[in-house]
Structure 1
Amino acid sequence: MSKLGTLGARLHRGEVGYDFVGKRKIWYGVSILITITAILALAVQGLNMGIEFKGGAVFTTPKNTPVSVAQATEDAESASGHDAIVQQLGDGSLRIQIGDLDTKQADRVKAELAQDMNIAVDSINAELVGPSWGKQIATKAWTGLAIFMVLVVIYLAIAFEWRMAVAALVALIHDITITVGIYALVGFEVTPGTVIGLLTILGYSLYDTVVVFDSLKEQTKGITKQTRWTYSEIANRSINSTLVRSINTTVVALLPVAGLLFIGGGFLGAGMLNDISLSLFVGLAAGAYSSIFIATPLVADLKEREPAMKALKKRVLAKRASAAAKGESADVDPAEAVEDAVPAAVVGQRGRRGRSTDGRR
């Protein structure tokens, strides 16, 4: 842990770093490949929509039901004539979902299930969900997601600038697409809990992105007044300076979610937890990736198209070429380079270490 802390301090000071922005084409290619795979999974397999969205009936048997999942599935499909999804819960009860049933059909299926399983009819809890109600839930979910996206873009455009708002929106769409694609691949059921998980991971993804954007905004103040660093190089420094923080927050958030997904859903048989825990687990990982490899490099791409940034890049390259021609070293101290690019308040104590009492460096 001490080595990780030392690495974080060195990354923050700019003593070491990885060229994330310089290799952005690689990350773009990886993201496009993953996104295409997710879209193909959605097109081929589709989503396993829950009863809440497509309508149907949910039957819950009493605790410690002496029937296996396979046998219960066979009994449910035989009684209803439709495909059934059976989950064994932690207390030994069974949750049986059957779509496209009306009230009369649900009562008949309930009676047949009780007879096949040799349990009392009254001990089976039946819940009926109409397809119209499911459509309302789906509409409200998409509406909430759209409102969230609009508010995010407006806030980032006001707090930072429109280019950062566009980059954050692209990163959020990237995270949603990957998460939904994973649901299509593994066949997990999509329920209202899944929607809650999606909205939650968007907040986490946005948090990491805003942290990097805030650092970038501070470090690029007065950037055109110096000739040592281009916008992309300072953007890369912003990623490195917040890298360890992003990793730490993501790992800390993933640990309890992994407990829900692998221990709660896998070993304890708590199937209801899978709906929200999978979306959280995949979304948190995708959000951390997009904040580092997508959002900030995309901002750098958009900013480098500005005439002022193009002119700055030409001046920086010309100065480095001139120094190389004279045999001088083009390398500079990272702390001094940041002092030229950002206000003294951002540099803090580090910006005053090289000064003597009479003001000379």
Structure 2
Amino acid sequence: MRFKKKMDFVHLSKYFYIFSAALTVLGIVFLAIFNLNYSVDFKAGSNVDVSLSKNLTSEQVKSALQPLNIGHDPELTTGEKRVNIRYDSVLSSDQDAAIQTAIKKLDSQASFEINTVDTEMAKELARNAIYAVLLACIGIIIYVSIRFEWRFAVAAIVALLHDAFMVVAIFSIFRLEVDLTFIVAVLTIIGYSINDTIVIFDRIRENLRFGKQKTYEDLKNLVNQSVQQTLMRSLYTAFTVFIAAFFLMVLGSESIRMFSLAMVIGLLFGAYSSIFIASPLWLVLKKGQKQKVKSKPAKA
């Protein structure tokens, strides 16, 4: 299935550039002021995950924990027969036991899972997460440069970083919790993003072989034609993964909810970045090459 009506994707891209630029600036502002809402995976502290036999309100849990006087008031998240208690400090064994005793007064059948991260481990996890994303980007740059050319590589990496940063920006703006599964989601999004971009770039390269592009309009028409030819394939791929991620977010457990949400956000941004960010950016870079060749003086 293909659209019968030809669309000017290059013309439409300027609106997506404006939207992405505005969201990027907003994301940078929020990151500079508020940073990310890191989970216990990335900062020192203790996370107490409690499975219950009945539902408890946050007020009930808070009242039970208040007499313990363990540091600052913990962050509480309640769900269906579940409560999560997060402390910014590392709990001692006596404090662990006191919390379990207090909760069991409300529900004798409660079971506990306590995860503790010290300061050095938190720093190492954050550092390794950054390295993982950077190494993935470097590997993709090398691959695209070898398979295509440097202009394709630059456009692909800009679109890739755009998708990853959009997810980070959304999580920062809405103060969504960032844990280890978030990093997995970002790396997965990078993979899907570059896949869609490569498909379009491959079609652009193929169409370049069967025609002579003498002007910018020729290149523009070639990009529009290439995107048109691969559009439905890209949308079908993104939509099928989007459905799976969406229902994982809605019906999945609390432990993978942020992963699923990051996937949903990343897939939405990735669906349009390959079309409206990467391909038009390649056109801009290629236009610069055409202009240099045109302005080069002829030899006597």
For normalisation by structure 1, the TM-score amounts to 0.74
Residue 30 (structure 1) aligns with: 19
Taking the TM superposition and a 5 Å limit, the aligned residue runs for 1:333-348 are none
The AA in structure 2 aligned to 1:198 is: V
Partners of 1:275 and 1:77 lie apart in 2 by 29
Residue 84 (structure 1) aligns with: 74
Whether the 8 Å contact between 2:155 and 2:281 is mirrored in structure 1 is: yes
Residue 185 (structure 1) aligns with: 173
The structural deviation recorded for 1:183 is 0.9
Whether the 8 Å contact between 1:230 and 1:309 is mirrored in structure 2 is: no
1:174 matched to 2:166? The reply is no
The structural deviation recorded for 1:184 is 1.4
Residue 53 (structure 2) aligns with: 64
Whether the 8 Å contact between 1:250 and 1:284 is mirrored in structure 2 is: yes
- Choose from 213, 226, 243 the match for 1:238: 226
Residue 97 (structure 1) aligns with: 86
Whether the 8 Å contact between 1:57 and 1:106 is mirrored in structure 2 is: no
- Choose from 218, 221, 233 the match for 2:209: 221
Partners of 2:214 and 2:284 lie apart in 1 by 20
Residue 245 (structure 2) aligns with: 257
Whether the 8 Å contact between 1:83 and 1:99 is mirrored in structure 2 is: no
The structural deviation recorded for 1:78 is 6.0
Whether the 8 Å contact between 1:224 and 1:308 is mirrored in structure 2 is: no
**RMSD between aligned residues:** 2.6
Deviation string 1:176-204 (CA, Å, 9 cap, x unpaired) is 11101111122221111010011001111
The structural deviation recorded for 1:296 is 0.2
Residue 107 (structure 1) aligns with: 96
1:286 matched to 2:269? The reply is yes
The structural deviation recorded for 1:136 is 1.2
The AA in structure 1 aligned to 2:61 is: A
Whether the 8 Å contact between 1:52 and 1:129 is mirrored in structure 2 is: yes
Which deviates the most, 218-227 or 151-160?
218-227
Whether the 8 Å contact between 2:155 and 2:279 is mirrored in structure 1 is: yes
Partners of 2:184 and 2:178 lie apart in 1 by 11
The AA in structure 2 aligned to 1:138 is: A
Whether the 8 Å contact between 2:49 and 2:83 is mirrored in structure 1 is: yes
The structural deviation recorded for 1:291 is 0.5
For normalisation by structure 2, the TM-score amounts to 0.88
User: Identity over the aligned pairs, expressed in percent?
Assistant: 29
The AA in structure 1 aligned to 2:77 is: Q
Whether the 8 Å contact between 2:64 and 2:103 is mirrored in structure 1 is: no
The AA in structure 2 aligned to 1:203 is: G
Unaligned runs of 5+ in 1: 265-269, 312-361
The AA in structure 2 aligned to 1:286 is: F
Distance 1:78 1:31, change over 3 A: farther
Residue 47 (structure 1) aligns with: 36
Q: How many residues matched?
A: 294
Taking the TM superposition and a 5 Å limit, the aligned residue runs for 1:144-163 are 144-163=132-151
- Choose from 286, 294, 306 the match for 2:289: 306
The structural deviation recorded for 1:116 is 5.8
Partners of 1:282 and 1:229 lie apart in 2 by 34
Deviation string 1:239-272 (CA, Å, 9 cap, x unpaired) is 11111111111111111111122333xxxxx321
The structural deviation recorded for 1:274 is 1.5
Residue 113 (structure 2) aligns with: 125
Partners of 2:179 and 2:109 lie apart in 1 by 29
Whether the 8 Å contact between 2:164 and 2:266 is mirrored in structure 1 is: yes
Distance 1:105 1:168, change over 3 A: farther
Partners of 1:67 and 1:216 lie apart in 2 by 58
The structural deviation recorded for 1:16 is 2.9
Whether the 8 Å contact between 1:114 and 1:120 is mirrored in structure 2 is: no
Residue 6 (structure 2) aligns with: 17
Which deviates the most, 79-88 or 149-158?
79-88
SS at structure 1 position matched to 2:285: helix
Distance 1:66 1:279, change over 3 A: closer
Whether the 8 Å contact between 2:75 and 2:86 is mirrored in structure 1 is: yes
